[in-house]
Amino acid sequence: MRLLASLLQLVMMAGALFGAGFTSQGFLEFPKSEEIGAMSAVEVDAKGRIYVLHRGPKPVMVFDRQGRHVRSFGDGLFKVAHGLRVDRQGNIWTTDNALHVLRKFSPEGKLLATVGEEGKAGNDETHFRSPDDIVFTSRHEMIVADAGNGRIVRLSTDGKYISSWGKKGKAVGEFAAAHGLAIDKRDRVYVADRGNNRVQVFSIKGKQLGEWKGFGNPFGLLVYGDDLLVSDGDVHRISHLRLTDGSIVAQWGDPQSLQLPHLMARDGKGRLFVAEVNGKRVQIFQYSK
């Protein structure tokens, strides 16, 4: 993979992250011809292709498994690009925080569908308000973090409303902002309740299963092995929470090694990809015991 990182940076980062077992392998290399904005999301599909979403022209970028840039698209479609996920058919789903919609693209960049009404916020069955993230259940349904409404929305595979739960607030089952999502093999949904400094755990029907605190303010989430990785952009740190009970296993990172970590992904080799908003970069980490 073509990576950009100086030897000094690698040595410093490896030293800083040694205790957690992750060492930096450098950064995804963006083509010099592209103007790169704040880095919001990263995803890796089943074939190892890497997808990046940033807040600049041509915000969706595609790389092959070796990290070579393949294409960029989406110019003029987005106002505030936020989340990106790939479904099991290889389609690319994105969220637009300012235009209040989800968009579905083919792997080649063709716009296939828009869910929600562009530019119009709402809290009914056909509208969102600042949607931030998406995950897919074992039934291929979609779970959407509808951040502006403080709710979670469950959709069918074709984007039709099934159910929703939550509202703005601080009580259990409420959200300051349902910001990032993760889902495990048992279809337990993990919600980064950014602003309330907690992760809440639910079934896909909205039953509250847990409330985890004490690690900081969650931005992005990722199930990694037996842990839930939580990025905290406020303090430039990643925490590992045990999936069984939410206890803190490890914490690592600082403003020098992580520049506002946001949404994350992993590939089939166990590499961790972190989109860094302030760094305008995607950093790649390798785990070793």
pLDDT tens digits, one per residue of 5-30: 433 343 333 334 434 789 999 999 99
CA distances from 76 to 11, 73, 107, 163 (A): 40, 9, 18, 31
pLDDT given at position 73:
97
The pLDDT, as a whole number, for residue 16 is 42
State residue 39's pLDDT score.
98
Predicted pLDDT at 288? 82
pLDDT at 20: 73
What confidence category does residue 153 fall into, taking pLDDT thresholds of 50, 70 and 90?
very high
Mean predicted lDDT score pLDDT of the chain? 93
CB 191 within 8 A of CB 200: yes
Categorize the per-residue pLDDT at 133 as very low, low, confident or very high, splitting at 50, 70 and 90. Answer: very high
pLDDT range class, residue 173, cuts 50, 70, 90? very high
**Residue 242 reports pLDDT greater than 90:** yes
pLDDT single digits (tens) 36-94: 999 999 999 999 999 999 999 999 999 999 999 999 999 999 999 999 999 999 999 99
Which H or E element spans position 11?
helix 7-17
DSSP-assigned states of every residue in 107-153: TT--EEEEES-TT---SSTT--SSEEEEEE-TTS-EEEEEGGGTEEE
Contact criterion met (CB below 8 Å) for 28 and 35: no
Which tens digit of pLDDT belongs to each residue from 182-215?
999 999 999 999 999 999 999 999 999 999 999 9
First-to-last alpha carbon distance for the chain, in angstroms, is 22
Contact present, 286 and 23 (Cβ < 8 Å): yes
* pLDDT for the residue 19: 43
Using one digit for the tens of pLDDT, what is the confidence trace for 257-285?
Answer: 999 999 999 999 999 999 999 999 999 99
pLDDT value for 273: 98
Q: Looking at the DSSP assignment, which residues form a beta bridge with residue 211?
A: 200
Q: Which pLDDT value is given to residue 1? A: 47
In this prediction, residue 259 carries a pLDDT of: 97
Residue 9 has what pLDDT? 43
